[in-house]
Amino acid sequence: MDWDAVDRMIRELGALRVVADSFPPETTARGQVEKAILDGAEAISLTIRNPRDAAAVARARATLATARDEVFDLMGPGAYTPREPR
């Protein structure tokens, strides 16, 4: 693994941040979205310390995928189509 994998995850997290901002701040969904994004950010931060740690990168990818799924589940059916990770 290398910095490219970390960069892609950071960009995906940024995209989730944009989606999260579309939720009204006072809703329960917004709190759930914020938690999912925080979990993703924490997992990615562990890869920044060592981007060649394949286990940390795999955990970050899995956590980010879960965050993405949670965000789009809250948006409702048909909000997105999952794609294979690079």
Q: Tens-of-pLDDT digits for all 86 residues of the chain? A: 578 888 999 999 999 888 888 878 787 888 888 898 999 999 999 888 888 889 999 999 999 999 888 888 887 765 555 455 55
Instruction: Report pLDDT for 83.
Output: 52
Task: Please give the tally of structural domains in the chain.
Answer: 1
> Could you tell me the pTM of the whole model?
0.76
CA 82 to chain centre: 13
- 44 found inside a domain: yes
**Listed residue (38, 39, 60) closest to 48, CA to CA:** 60
Instruction: Report pLDDT for 30.
Output: 82
Tokens matching residue 52: 């060649």
**Domain assignment of residue 37, given as a range:** 3-75
- 85 found inside a domain: no
- 82 found inside a domain: no
- 47 found inside a domain: yes
